[in-house]
Structure 1
Amino acid sequence: MNTNAENHTMISNIVTVGASTKNGLLPFDIWSMVIDQLWGKAREYKEDSKGGETMWVQDPLFQTWLRELRTVSKYFNKKITTLVYEKVVFTNDKLVRYDPMSLQEKFKADTIQYAKHSSFAPHLEESYMTEVIDVISKGKHVVEVQWNIGIQHTDVSLMCIQASLHAFLKRTVRCEVRSRRFSLVPGGQDYDNHQVRFIATDLSGKLMKRKTLYQDSRKLEDPPQLGLDSSVFDPLAIAPVLKLHIWCVWMMPIFITSHACPIFRQLPAVSKLNLKNYHWDHTAENYGQIWDFSDLQDLCLHGIVLTKFFLTVSLEALAKLRRLRLTAANYPTLFGNNLNDLQAAIRKLLGEYKQLEKLKLRVKRWQEIFPPLLICEFGQSLVYLSLRGWSYAGVHLSLQELRRIRTACTNLHTLGVDLPKLKDTHEHFLQNIGRFDTATTIYLYVVGGFEANGVEAGSTDPDYDQAMVLLPYLKSCKYGNSLQCWQVEAEGCWQVQRDGQYLEKRGYWLGERCFTCNVNLKGDTYTTGSKRIDEFIDHEEHPSDDDSDDEVPGEGQDDEDLSDDGTDLEATDIVEGGAAGVETTAELGGN
């Protein structure tokens, strides 16, 4: 018997027993344990094959089972109502079924009281949509709203989204707009399966990960206060700090214009802005009608044409900017056709406001917009610096450039740089990295198949073994503050064959691997990250692989490190302070 049938039988038995005895044969706390067990079985958690993120999936029959259980007794009804209404899906049929003119009052009241996740398709009747928006907007615990729109909903969709989105973004609410074969631009091209996600978070950033949304939902108790507290709830209250993340996700490589993002009124002042694949087509004259950057301190741009952004936004609007993160693998996507204009705009901006604390670049040929001499101008204000190209597409920092940055930026606590490809240059390069005496966290960025001295031929996992050579050598070179976290990040990794060659075939892609050393509060060093592979891949034993297409992931893959808030790898269990380093004469590899 499958799980669904088993659960349905258990539910039926409980309902039968409850109906025959009114209050049930067992004490209510026992019934609660049974229901809690069913609750766990009715939900399954699975790992996303791409991102490794835990996603939540609900059995489609679960709502029906819960409604049946509510008939057992008034006690069951009281407890289970919160579960029944945790996720409310509004459909055209439901609107008509409850009442041709209005939502059923009890349904409306329970939705406002209990719903945390709402999903609906706009109805053709404006009166219905007005009431749905009103109900969801008043929700005391709502943390997620999703619109499912179709080509027949053009006018109604724009109306309802415009009417509600602005209020939602003032609260801690995740909003998603999903459409199929639909263009939000009047007269525009129809696109397949595109989504626009608006995620407004508070200081805790609770809404950034789906697993956070659902981690407490198994318990048979009142829903956790993930949204605003019901006792002080005000649907128009403005959060003191707004962190706004906008993702434009598509199945086809087409930019969605900013008109597709249904923001038609000016947003509250944004403290943190994360734009991913957002087509910035505003002008210097009209961007202020939507965006208020007067409090902007943290800016992350992923896949944005920087020329358009930085030539549009005024210098005065970015006066409070303290943290800047940029990522793009496609050179034209980043710079457009006006590299000289972009260089001038960046120089003017950063020349005017030399208070940047964090600069994180994951950009091909980043030196063309942020030359090392310009980075040096940040001086003592800069505490976090990460300079990463794509697969050695750019030129790594020279020893002279490293020395200049070290001399100018004397307060760096975190440093990340590309490791030179030639292994004969590693020794002097790492010795210079070690002389950043204030740094306690260092990242070395490499590409799978990199080489380091001291690794014997015939290794089943050269990437791992070479990282284990680099990490202790880097520590031995460190002056000043002791390292608390140091890491080798290798992208583009493959499994290795017995002959030492990497098998760049479908099925043997390892992606990005991290090898990390940390120091805990006791001062002990421990290694974490990717595990060592202890066996070769004998390609001759898998002849079918020769017939498959080579699959080498492109450089344009999302940089998850920059897409999500708070995913920067930082030292764990950091020890305050640190003893001064001692000069060493150790040689890399020690042969």
Structure 2
Amino acid sequence: MGPAHVPHSESALQILKKLLLRTPQLETFHYIDCRAPRVPGRQFSFEENQRFPPFKNLMLKNYDWKHDAEEVKRHWDFSRIRSLELLMIPVYKFLESVPFSDLAQLQHLHAEDYSEAIDHENPKRATKKLYALVNGPIKSLQTLKLTCFIDLFHIDALLVHAKSLTGLVFRDHNVSNNLRQHRPVLSAEKLAILSRSLSSLESLEIDIDHRALPEACLLALCQFPRLHTLVLHTQTVIQPESNHRPGQDPDLTRAFDCFTMLVKQRPGPAPAKWQRVVINVGEWRERDVIPGAGRRRRVGLRETYTYYRACVSQRYFVLEESMSGQEDLIYEELPPKDEGLTHFRGNLRTGKTLEPQSQVAEATR
């Protein structure tokens, strides 16, 4: 069964519940409440002797989980669960009510807490619960995607899955685009430990802080033996009071420098090639927007400067290997209505100058 988009009515939720109860062989269930992210979702209410089938793949998005342990025992069955996604739900309440022993066979885990509650204690408790779950009962995770408080989630839990883990997203709740504010990130030392242990890791998504010697972090990232897909989230280097001459783009320049280091520092006579590297500059998050500023689309350099105090711009700089495998392509991913930024083609490994392929004036972006 594919994703179930549940209308905003209790009767529709009850109809969905009856359907689930009548399909005991159902293995995959995706619940996506269509409400806005900051509006609590709904949850199923059960009668006596009603019990869901043992899902193998379960996603709950905007689900207002309030079931206690006794209710879970009577009405839910996690004995066969292999893939679990908890998105915009009270993760702590879920982990408090579900026995960890039922989650021991998980291969894929994705958890993002309810954003409205980030400043409360429960998300911190949820991080500690997630750490205990990953560090103990779960035996062999293949993919792990967590938005948590990374200072409370020690990396020894990741090392438990060193042989099996192929994909990791490890991000913090408190991501700021302010260059003067601390940005919780994995240190270069911790990345170096992970690079020596996670021998099967192929894709990684983390935050980096431009104030905290990112070069050391980039060097550590080059040491992952099988890593080919990388997403780095970082703050813009553009400051509101800064003046930039026409044609200057400090964020693009910084991204280009990062790409160059990542390519040139891969070890060995025949460096492992990056398939795709994304540097996401100035990520926008709803709770970071000043009240009344409103939602903004992803914007270019000029708009980044204009809107800096009102919201966080979002730009995607991408490094990809060309179809021939002989060149590196660097470009900026923009919304469909935009024509694109400068595209470069060249070989960062040999030091060949990357030549611009197309260019759009800043005023037209």
Q: TM (normalized to structure 2)?
A: 0.70
Residues in 1 aligned to 2:140 and 2:37: alpha-carbon distance in whole angstroms: 39
Residues in 2 aligned to 1:326 and 1:457: alpha-carbon distance in whole angstroms: 43
Structure 1 position 299, deviation (Å): 1.5
Structure 1 position 536, deviation (Å): 5.0
Residues in 2 aligned to 1:433 and 1:145: alpha-carbon distance in whole angstroms: 39
Q: 1:308 to 1:450 in 2, by over 3 A?
A: farther
Match for 1:446: what amino acid?
T
- 1:425 corresponds to 2:227: no
- 1:401 corresponds to 2:190: yes
Pick the aligned partner of 2:235 from 447, 457, 472: 447
Gaps of 5+ in 2: 285-297, 335-339, 343-359
- 1:374 corresponds to 2:178: no
Residues in 1 aligned to 2:203 and 2:106: alpha-carbon distance in whole angstroms: 19
Match for 2:170: what amino acid?
L
Confirm or deny: 8 A CA contact 2:238 2:305 kept in the other structure: no
**What SS does the aligned partner of 2:93 have?**
helix
Q: Give the corresponding residue for 1:518.
A: 320
Give CA-to-partner distance per residue, 1:22-57, whole Å, 9 cap, x none.
Answer: xxxxxxxxxxxxxxxxxxxxxxxxxxxxxxxxxxxx
Structure 1 position 314, deviation (Å): 0.5
Structure 1 position 535, deviation (Å): 4.4
Q: 1:267 to 1:411 in 2, by over 3 A?
A: same
Structure in which a larger fraction of residues adopt helix: 1
Q: 1:311 to 1:349 in 2, by over 3 A?
A: farther
- 1:388 corresponds to 2:239: no
Residues in 1 aligned to 2:7 and 2:304: alpha-carbon distance in whole angstroms: 49
Give CA-to-partner distance per residue, 1:324-375, whole Å, 9 cap, x none.
Answer: 1222484844874484585256315531223112112234x3332x222322
Confirm or deny: 8 A CA contact 2:113 2:123 kept in the other structure: no
Structure 1 position 269, deviation (Å): 2.1
Pick the aligned partner of 2:95 from 310, 314, 317: 310
Pick the aligned partner of 2:58 from 268, 273, 278: 273
Confirm or deny: 8 A CA contact 2:299 2:314 kept in the other structure: no
Residues in 2 aligned to 1:505 and 1:358: alpha-carbon distance in whole angstroms: 35
Confirm or deny: 8 A CA contact 1:327 1:362 kept in the other structure: yes
Q: Give the corresponding residue for 1:488.
A: 279
Structure 1 position 247, deviation (Å): 2.4
Q: 1:352 to 1:145 in 2, by over 3 A?
A: closer
**What SS does the aligned partner of 1:473 have?**
helix
Give CA-to-partner distance per residue, 1:407-436, whole Å, 9 cap, x none.
Answer: 2222111122212222x7232221111111
Aligned residues: 312
- 1:165 corresponds to 2:16: yes
Match for 2:255: what amino acid?
A
**What SS does the aligned partner of 1:532 have?**
coil
Structure scoring higher RCO (CA < 8 A, sep ≥ 6) equals 2
Pairs within 5 Å for 1:80-479: 158=11, 162=14, 164-166=15-17, 168-169=19-20, 238-239=25-26, 241-242=27-28, 244-250=29-35, 253-259=38-44, 265-328=50-113, 330=115, 332-333=117-118, 336-337=121-122, 339=124, 343=128, 346-348=131-133, 350-363=135-148, 365-368=149-152, 370-389=153-172, 390-391=175-176, 394-422=183-211, 425-449=213-237, 458-479=246-267
Match for 2:16: what amino acid?
L
Q: 1:502 to 1:146 in 2, by over 3 A?
A: closer
Confirm or deny: 8 A CA contact 2:65 2:94 kept in the other structure: yes
Structure 1 position 146, deviation (Å): 7.3
Confirm or deny: 8 A CA contact 1:380 1:409 kept in the other structure: yes
Identity, % of aligned pairs? 21
CA RMSD of aligned residues (A): 3.9
Residues in 2 aligned to 1:386 and 1:342: alpha-carbon distance in whole angstroms: 14
Gaps of 5+ in 1: 1-141, 150-156, 171-234, 539-591
Structure 1 position 494, deviation (Å): 4.9
Residues in 2 aligned to 1:276 and 1:481: alpha-carbon distance in whole angstroms: 37
Give CA-to-partner distance per residue, 1:510-538, whole Å, 9 cap, x none.
Answer: 85322222235532433452332854569
Residues in 1 aligned to 2:209 and 2:170: alpha-carbon distance in whole angstroms: 13
Residues in 2 aligned to 1:380 and 1:288: alpha-carbon distance in whole angstroms: 33
Structure 1 position 379, deviation (Å): 1.9
Q: TM (normalized to structure 1)?
A: 0.46
Greater displacement, 307-316 / 291-300: 291-300
